[in-house]
Amino acid sequence: MVKEIIVLYPSPGKGHLVSTVELGKTLLGHHHPPPFSVTVILSVPPDEAEFTAAYVSSVSVTHPAISFHHLPVPFVPFDSSSPNKFMSSTFELACRNNPALHALLSSISKSGGSNIRALVLDFFCTAALRVGANLNIPVYYFFTSGASGLAEFLYIPSMHRNIPHSFKDLDPDTLIEIPGTPPVRPMDMPMPIADRSSKVYGYFLEAACDMARAAGLIMNTFDSFEVSALKALRDGLCVTDGPTPPTYCVGPLIVTTGNNNGADDRHECLRWLDSKPSRSVVVLSFGSMGKFSARQLKETALGLERSGVNFLWVVRAPPRNDEAWRAISEPYPSIEVFLPDGFLERTKERGLVVNSWAPQVAVLNHSSVGGFVTHCGWNSVLEAVYAGVPMLAWPLYAEQKLNRNYLVEEVRVALPVKESEDGLVSAGELEERVTALMSSEKGEAMRERVHKMKETAAAALREGGSSHLALAELIQAIKQGPSTEPRRWNP
Ligand code: UDP
């Protein structure tokens, strides 16, 4: 019998790999027995090798129907000193991987009567669209962010045509209209597309054009969470050069691996949360990469202290180029050295500082948690919504400022944290916002809204829910080959 395969091709980066594998698990879990097997293509830079090896071996045990293939890693200098250079390298890596990818997919297709029914790309791997076209394999994209992010992303070619300057050179008070999303200030556009003369801007522009030619666009979101952005996408307002590919909202995909909620070896922060009253704790966590200057860490600490609110704060040491490091000789000092003198002692009854990493999904679902200060990374946003926790939006990088706009202006489940001109969030600002989040009428109204969202998110995933149906449609489309029929839209 011919073996039907879906090939998933995530870009480097922990978050991209984990979300893509979660999509693979969801695809496999929808039908019994699954009509496809899932193959994940890996191209792993050396600094991610250790994490990837451990992750792959754990998935191989829990989900043996997912197989992994490593591409040889071509030389691409990864410059992590600048997010833009890092992103350029990620696009570049995919370009250089094309010959090896072509060879691998050809050999999979030829071996033992296998048939690759779909190649699902992360947008950083957009160069592989050519490989799919060459081998006659339908190409889908998995956009690891949501519909509002996708609307903005697909609209880049239109903005490129209609706005004569780089976003960085526009009057800061300009409001950029993007279909289905609240108007955006130039400074809230993702940094990599701020300057159209940069190499990375070219890559983004190309990726946006490529995605518009895909057999389908898969998103980690659910219909009722992003109604206006989805309507704009499905009404064809974001892609202006042709039809918009069919869109499939299959989320929220929530990764629970490593979130040891019920196990004996529960993380100490979960045991600490057990001792706190219901909804009394604000959690601060800034994704897999979020780091702050020592100055910002001190301001944050003072703001939390003055707010009087219980807090669980996941803290990382400042970047190595922060001047605070000059006074430190140890390579891995205690995080305490970056906090105000006596802070931990003064707040020990009501605050817990966790170094670097906490099991965030389990934390957000703990009944003692009442608010979440987040960098607005898409997974964190969905995890908060799925747990019914209102947010303070403190975006740091990538498309997070756009996510903040959507959360604050459109769905109103977050309050914004305002930075001063030099980018600092002052202790006073944080104190005020945390207080508003945890104990004000506005905060309560947000809590009610996000609670309703939590219910609709769970309903979307249940049998007959919008995400469950979208997954069935996606599987059907993959089985049949891409359709030219426009997809129905039920708001
Ligand atoms: N995360 C976690 N513990 C931490 C920090 C992050 O479990 O201390 C997880 C979080 O639950 C989310 C992911 O890491 O699933 C971060 O993804 P997100 O899209 O929010 O941000 P990114 O890391 O891509 O900026």
Pocket, ligand 1, Cβ cutoff 6 A: 15, 255, 285, 287-289, 314, 357-361, 377-380, 383
List, for residues 186-199, the tens digit of each pLDDT value. 999 998 999 999 99
Choose the residue to mutate in 360, 365, 374 for probing ligand 1, maximizing ligand atoms within 8 Å of C-beta: 360
Instruction: Output the average pLDDT for the chain.
Output: 92
Minimum-distance ligand 1 atom for the alpha carbon of 289? 23
Domain 3-255+460-480 fold is: Rossmann fold (3.40.50)
CA distance 18 to 35: 22
Residue 262 confidence class, pLDDT cut points 50, 70, 90? low
Give pLDDT, residue 227: 95
How many angstroms separate the alpha carbon of residue 258 from the centre of ligand 1?
12
CA-nearest residue for atom 6, ligand 1, is 287
pLDDT of amino acid 491: 37
- In this predicted structure, what is the pLDDT of residue 30? 80
Mutational pocket test of ligand 1: of 17, 221, 288, the residue with most ligand atoms within 8 Å of the beta carbon? 288
- The model's pLDDT over 469-490, given as tens digits with 9 standing for 90+, comes to 999 999 999 999 855 444 444 4
Closest residue CA from atom 2 of ligand 1: 360
pLDDT confidence of residue 488:
43
Nearest ligand 1 atom to the CA of 360 is 7
State the span(s) of the chain assigned CATH 3.40.50.2000: 3-255+460-480, 268-449
User: Facing residues of 116 across strands?
Assistant: 5
Q: Ligand 1 centroid to 89 CA: how many Å?
A: 22
* pLDDT value for 13: 84
- For residue 354, the ligand 1 atom closest to its alpha carbon is 8
Q: Which residue's C-alpha comes closest to atom 22 of ligand 1? A: 287
Task: Find where tokens 């790309």 sit.
Answer: 121
- Domain 268-449 belongs in CATH node 3.40.50.2000: yes
Q: What is the pLDDT, as a whole number, of residue 288?
A: 86
Predicted confidence (pLDDT) per residue in 265-316, tens digit: 789 999 999 999 999 999 999 998 899 999 999 999 999 999 999 999 999 9
* Interface confidence (ipTM) of the complex: 0.99
Entry pTM: 0.93
Supply the pLDDT for residue 256: 76
Q: How far is the CA of 283 from the centre of ligand 1 (A)?
A: 13
